Amino acid sequence: MKIDMIYELEMPKPWSGAHPEYDLFWNSMAEIELADRVGFDTVWMVEHHFRTEFSHSAAPDVFLSAVAQRTKNIRIGHGVVLLPYPFNHPIRVAERIATLDILSNGRLEFGVGRSGIDEQEGFGIKTEESRDMMLEALGIIPRMWSDELFSHEGRFFQIPEREIIPKPYQKPHPPLWMASTSPDSWTIAGERRVGALGLTVLMKLEEIQKHIANYRNAWKTGASVGGVANNQVRVFTIVHCADTDEQAMEQGGGEAALWYIDYILNRMLARERALEDPKGPRPYSQFLDRLTYLKGHAEGSLRADVFDEESMIITGNPDTCIQKIEEYQKAGVDGVLCLMQAGRIKHEDTMRSIELFGKHVIPHFKNKADVAAG
């Protein structure tokens, strides 16, 4: 069971201090350096645009370059790179990922996705083309790393013969991953034999388990889009560990989930529902259709502890966090991406959460793995 960190770079208003984004970035860097020292497996950075408060991670490759130079062991997860163009042209993605892999001494993990309607609209991307464009780019980027001379004639990209440099340090290339939020995206990831990055804040474990089964079945009959297959499933959730269960909630573990959901429903989803064709793509509004408990949000009755009770988040003392992660493990999850810099949780409380994971939670799963290996 892999224990990872993930960063959105959240900063809910009201902001304080002369340079709040500066403080956010450098506090996050200190947290990641600590996570490296205490044994977290991977740190992931998202790519988002225009999402004030929710995510100030608009240039993750720049941030991760700094992370690579300030850490030694933790793997570097670029998760996810938005592949529809003009978010990122596949040549530039291949170049930047290879550079990050070199600078991190071969510690890079490469995840892909396509984001939501609001971001796509800001870049002039047609939502109905975004998935096909993402999949075409994903299909050619590994070839850019393996072929000495590369060319491509496709629906969205026409690239004359060129030598794409640099090449990654890892051979044939870093592990490949895909964001898996909508039900069909799990199958698509399995068909291409790339790792699946799921989300639990909006899904109960029973639903995650069904998606994992679909992923595993698709993987069996799929074909690898890259030079090496990846059959891991890791899920992203809000995590806060404190000395007691009560402290974990008092410090904002549950409220961080409520703030996260509020942002999605009142900002991202509202824009999506105003734009979408009911028969077209539904990156976020499909959750509202399927999850009846979210309807309580509109009535003002959604409680922060609902997420904790349903194990959609991981909050509590170290023993409680271990118990919840073991539930994920039983559901077929290979690793958890812990969003610890979340909501209004204070930096010093996040640092303590990381310390407790390093002292108690990570050793527990490492010891279990050692015993299982004999």
- The pLDDT confidence band at residue 262, using thresholds 50, 70 and 90, is confident
Report cis status (omega within 30 of 0) of the bond before 62.
Answer: no
Q: Can you tell me the mean pLDDT for 126-152?
A: 97
Q: Look at residues 7, 78, 79, 3 and name the one whose alpha carbon lies nearest to residue 39.
A: 3
Q: Can you tell me the mean pLDDT for 62-70?
A: 98
Percent of the chain topping pLDDT 90 = 79
- The pLDDT confidence band at residue 291, using thresholds 50, 70 and 90, is low
The dihedral through the CA atoms of 34, 35, 39, 43 has a sign that is negative
Q: Rounded to whole angstroms, how far apart are CA atoms 127 and 112? A: 16
Q: Can you tell me the mean pLDDT for 241-270?
A: 88
Q: Distances from the Cα of 174 to the Cαs of 44, 98, 152, 233, 236, in angstroms?
A: 14, 8, 21, 16, 20
The structure tokens listed for 219 are: 């993987």
Q: Rounded to whole angstroms, how far apart are CA atoms 348 and 340? A: 11
**What is the extent of the structural domain holding 52?**
2-372
Q: Answer for the pair 6, 43: CB distance below 8 angstroms, yes or no.
A: yes
Q: Is the pLDDT score of 95 beyond 80?
A: yes
Q: Residue 166 has what pLDDT? A: 98
Q: Residue 183 has what pLDDT? A: 84
Q: Can you tell me the mean pLDDT for 183-195?
A: 96
Q: Can you tell me the mean pLDDT for 166-180?
A: 97
Q: Is the pLDDT score of 349 beyond 70?
A: yes
Q: Can you tell me the mean pLDDT for 49-66?
A: 97
- The pLDDT confidence band at residue 288, using thresholds 50, 70 and 90, is low
Q: Residue 272 has what pLDDT? A: 60
Q: Rounded to whole angstroms, how far apart are CA atoms 265 and 244? A: 31
User: For residue 212, what is the domain's CATH number?
Assistant: 3.20.20.30
The model carries a pTM of: 0.93
Percent of the chain topping pLDDT 70 = 90
Q: Rounded to whole angstroms, how far apart are CA atoms 193 and 218? A: 8
The answer for 106, left when phi > 0, alpha when psi is -120 to 50, beta otherwise, is left
What rounded mean pLDDT belongs to the chain? 91
- The pLDDT confidence band at residue 266, using thresholds 50, 70 and 90, is confident
Q: Can you tell me the mean pLDDT for 40-49?
A: 98
Q: Is the pLDDT score of 339 beyond 90?
A: yes
311 vs 106 pLDDT, higher one: 106
Q: Residue 136 has what pLDDT? A: 98
Q: Residue 172 has what pLDDT? A: 96
CA 212 from chain centre, in angstroms, equals: 16
Q: Answer for the pair 74, 42: CB distance below 8 angstroms, yes or no.
A: yes
* Total structural domains within the chain: 1
Task: Give the bridge partners for 77, in sequence order.
Answer: 44, 109
Q: Which residues of 11-46 are buried (b: 16+ CB within 10 A; e: fewer)?
A: bbeeeeeeeeeeebbebbbebbbbbbebbbbbbbbb
